[in-house]
Structure 1
Amino acid sequence: MVKDLDDGKKIIRGRSHSVSIENREKVTITGVIDVDSFDEASVIMVTDLGFITLHGADLHISKLNLEEGQLVVEGEIIALEYSEQNAMGGKGSGLFGRIFR
């Protein structure tokens, strides 16, 4: 979030972050900056606090709004794992980031 001050300066704040899982079938995550990769078995997303990897089966993204930082994934949820940005190579470590090094 960016907040403009009266003197023209801007304050950049991290987005709030929450995870809500409903019946192991639907997960809503806020504070998402980007989705690094996804398929039917996993979704890897970037937040201000690092990466989140969602493991499951028949996963599909039903809503993605990066302006609001919201991601909704439906399917069979097996696990949700946090990791630091450096542990996965940092932002841009997706397929294209690995190809164009």
Structure 2
Amino acid sequence: MEERRTVKSRAQNIILESREKLSVSGVEHVTSFDENTIVLETTKGILTIKGNSLDINKLNLDDGNVVVEGTVDAIIYSDRDSIGNKGIGFLGKMFK
């Protein structure tokens, strides 16, 4: 079973510098990542980062900090439940 870290502070900050460097605090878990999409579980919900040549430069889950470098095209929040139900459809949700 995966271990999830709980970040002591509920605050979250996002700093985007020239669309090339993104610093995020309040990160609890890295759900997935590749060069075009990074999905983070944060204290404020699921954070999806889309772009090109994305790379996780620094990762410290004890402090809840992540630094991403590359070209950032979008930063999208979603509810925690939406990531697990993605692609299930209406009937799948009914009989869950």
Residue of 41, 44, 48 corresponding to 2:36: 41
TM-score of the pair, normalised by structure 1: 0.74
Question: 2 CA distance for matches of 1:84 and 1:21?
Answer: 22
Deviations 1:26-69 (A, max 9, x none): 00000000100000001000012210000000000000000000
| Match of residue 73 from structure 2 | 78
Aligned-pair identity (%)? 39
| Match of residue 94 from structure 1 | none
TM-score of the pair, normalised by structure 2: 0.78
Runs of 4+ in 1 over 4 A off after TM superposition: none
Structure with greater strand share of residues: 1
Residue of 23, 27, 32 corresponding to 2:22: 27
Query: How many pairs align?
Result: 80
User: Which structure's CA Rg is the greater one?
Assistant: 1
- Structure 2 alignment gaps of length 5 or more: 1-5, 86-96
| Aligned residues: CA RMSD | 1.8
